[in-house]
Structure 1
Amino acid sequence: MEPPAGGGSLAVESLNRHRYLNSFPHENSTAFYGVNQFSYLFPEEFKALYLGSKPAWAPRYPAEGQRPVPNVSLPLRFDWRDKHVINNVRNQKMCGGCWAFSVVSAVESARAIQGKPLDYLSVQQVIDCSYNNYGCHGGSPLGALTWLNETQLRLVADSEYPFKAENGLCRYFPPSQSGVCVKDFSAYDFSDQEDEMARALLSFGPLVVIVDAVSWQDYLGGIIQHHCSSGEANHAVLITGFDKTGNTPYWMVRNSWGNSWGVEGYAHVKMGGNVCGIADSVAAVFV
């Protein structure tokens, strides 16, 4: 893509940002930042285009109405990808539909964990039809899950209703159309309880979370430990696993910016300390 006019100042700003982000003392596992597919954007543009999730309040665990988390013992490493129940990373393109991608990915995996085929389901259907959200202009994963649960809408295959990276008119399908319904979901605030969150991941499947991803514009790899507070949740993603085998334990976080971003489409975020607000608003999905 062509850089915008005045690219000189953008390049300087971009390099200054990378220098600042990389200026923390380097432990082996600290994240590193640099030029990637978003470097041609000013931070305001990046935020407007790619960070389309609205913050959502979830009740502190344990609370009434939440599915209790079984007290399972935690392995040192766990990743749902190893069980072949996670689809390849998708690309939301210039559509602020991260909230829909995270929810649909969770539904795909919940279904596959039950032994059904791992299919790509329609993100576009959620973008077009979830009347309590704003399509490519942003939305709330918890809002989408509430809507799916209340309407019992069947999510159809991606091939039936493909992604077009813009808002469209909602297409309705006959009752005979096969698809996947969300039977239930549970929302949690796991801040200061990330071991409970890991147990939920192990017991229920991949978790939808909302994070502050402003500094993710420049992320190249390593474990994110600094530069992002839980100040403002703005991006919805899916946690598929964790790794506690090294010096810095981390969550494996599946993004929707294509597989050339980060670590093959994933971010690694330090476990403990609620980095990026990763434990504030967490949802498990049941199909």
Structure 2
Amino acid sequence: MPLHSPYQVYLSRRSHFRKSQASHYRHAKFSGPKMNVYHLYTVAMATVFAVVAPSCCQNASWDEELKHLNSVAGDFTPFGGRSDLVYKDLYLRAIPEHAPPFFGSKTKEMPAKFDWRDRAVVAPVQNQQACGSCWAFSVVGAMQAAKAIAGMPLEELSVQQVIDCCFQNGGCNGGSPTKALLWLQRTRMNLVPQSEYPYKAKNGMCHFFSHPKVGVALRNFTTFDFSGQEEAMKAELVERGPLSAVVDAVSWQDYLGGIIQHHCSSHWPNHAVLVVGYDATGEIPFWIVQNSWGTDWGNEGYVYVKLGSNLCGIADSVAAVLV
């Protein structure tokens, strides 16, 4: 392939664009699917290569490169080449459960910014791949963080164990974080390290460990609806650790970066995530949310959601765990 072939130029410009937008659009508005800068840039680049390049870059490999380019033109996000229906069917498989409204005492003043990642208790971003296991990643992420907050070493626990063994849920076909937590509480199942029970992104037979030497069991958990009470949700995060939450992520398919401020409904909770912090130091306060779609998505695997408006339904069903 020529050094300055259209496809290489595309990859180079795509890489430069992604790096620049990660910082430049950190506080930019996100206007929902098909309307953000990532999508507009994809359309513009595809137009340039399809219309302009053939007239100035005639060579034997152009047809092959154009086919390659077209196959990855949507590769700005991990879902660029998937239809909306496939995206929803594969990745939005969390099942919401009704959570009682939070009726706690008046919230004391919280710090303007708090991020559990700064305390080294949040494991790296994972990738659920083509498996509707977000519910398991969310629960396991909260448990391994709680374990580290309790003074034990931070380690990745087995998501596959929850997928295979929590029969109240459907594994890769979807599930409820609340049902998973109830199962963990009732069975006192000891979650083993991921190295002992690796992730396979598919349903499998449950492997039982009669006397696991390592791992952690769930002692207790709470689930509340914090809609209209996100200040109290901030206190829950600071006092209890990263929170498992079920959101409406239909509009996240094309998310590049910045703070989601508009066009993110809360009508159809469908995806489970891990809320690890918040930042209210700037003009737009936002939640810091770890996703399970790999580091190529969003802000290296994270999404920022405006705080205070229950955007994406982020406060509707929130669980804290105790190990």
| Superposed pair shares fold, TM > 0.5 | yes
Further displaced range: 135-144 or 172-181? 172-181
CA RMSD of aligned residues (A): 1.5
- Aligned pairs for 1:26-45 within 5 A: 29-31=28-30, 32=36, 33-34=38-39, 35-45=76-86
Q: Which amino acid aligns with 2:227?
A: S
Match of 1:167 in 2: 203
Match of 2:290 in 1: 254
Q: Distance in 2 between matches of 1:224 and 1:175?
A: 45
Match of 1:277 in 2: 313
Q: Distance in 1 between matches of 2:82 and 2:92?
A: 13
Q: Which amino acid aligns with 2:29?
A: T
- Aligned pairs for 1:95-106 within 5 A: 95-106=131-142
Q: Distance in 1 between matches of 2:100 and 2:80?
A: 37
Per the alignment, do residues 116 and 267 of structure 1 end up closer, same or farther by CA in structure 2, a change over 3 Å counting? same
- Aligned pairs for 1:96-135 within 5 A: 96-135=132-171
Does the alignment pair 1:46 with 2:87? yes
Per the alignment, do residues 70 and 82 of structure 1 end up closer, same or farther by CA in structure 2, a change over 3 Å counting? farther
Question: Considering only CA atoms, is the larger Rg found in Structure 1 or Structure 2?
Answer: 2
Q: Which amino acid aligns with 2:86?
A: E
Q: 1:273, CA displacement in angstroms?
A: 1.1
Q: Which amino acid aligns with 2:91?
A: Y
2:133/2:163 contact within 8 Å kept = yes
Q: Distance in 1 between matches of 2:262 and 2:141?
A: 27
The counterpart of 1:89, out of the listed 98, 104, 125, is 125
Match of 2:216 in 1: 180
Per the alignment, do residues 176 and 121 of structure 1 end up closer, same or farther by CA in structure 2, a change over 3 Å counting? closer
Q: Which amino acid aligns with 1:51?
A: L
Match of 1:59 in 2: 100
Per the alignment, do residues 41 and 100 of structure 1 end up closer, same or farther by CA in structure 2, a change over 3 Å counting? same
Further displaced range: 243-252 or 68-77? 68-77
Q: Summarize deviations over 1:225-275 as a string: whole Å, max 9, x none.
A: 112111000000000000011111000000000011100100000001110
Match of 2:69 in 1: none
Q: Distance in 2 between matches of 1:112 and 1:265?
A: 21
Q: Distance in 2 between matches of 1:169 and 1:29?
A: 45
SS in 2 for 1:218: coil
Unaligned runs of 5+ in 2: 1-24, 31-35, 40-75
Q: Distance in 2 between matches of 1:58 and 1:284?
A: 12
Identity of aligned residues (%): 53
Q: Distance in 2 between matches of 1:161 and 1:278?
A: 30
Paired residues, number: 257
Structure with the higher helix share, 1 or 2: 2
SS in 1 for 2:253: helix
Q: 1:27, CA displacement in angstroms?
A: 11
Q: Distance in 2 between matches of 1:178 and 1:246?
A: 42
Per the alignment, do residues 265 and 137 of structure 1 end up closer, same or farther by CA in structure 2, a change over 3 Å counting? same
Match of 1:199 in 2: 235
Q: Distance in 1 between matches of 2:105 and 2:205?
A: 39
Q: 1:131, CA displacement in angstroms?
A: 0.7
2:107/2:231 contact within 8 Å kept = no
SS in 2 for 1:221: coil
2:27/2:259 contact within 8 Å kept = no
Q: Distance in 2 between matches of 1:234 and 1:240?
A: 19
Q: Which amino acid aligns with 1:196?
A: A
Runs of 4+ in 1 over 3 A off after TM superposition: 68-72
Q: Distance in 2 between matches of 1:91 and 1:27?
A: 22
Q: Which amino acid aligns with 1:49?
A: L
SS in 1 for 2:256: strand
Q: Distance in 1 between matches of 2:281 and 2:309?
A: 18
1:70/1:203 contact within 8 Å kept = no
Q: 1:29, CA displacement in angstroms?
A: 2.6
Q: Summarize deviations over 1:175-205 as a string: whole Å, max 9, x none.
A: 3543200000000000000000000000000
Q: Which amino acid aligns with 1:173?
A: F
1:70/1:200 contact within 8 Å kept = no
Unaligned runs of 5+ in 1: 1-25, 63-67
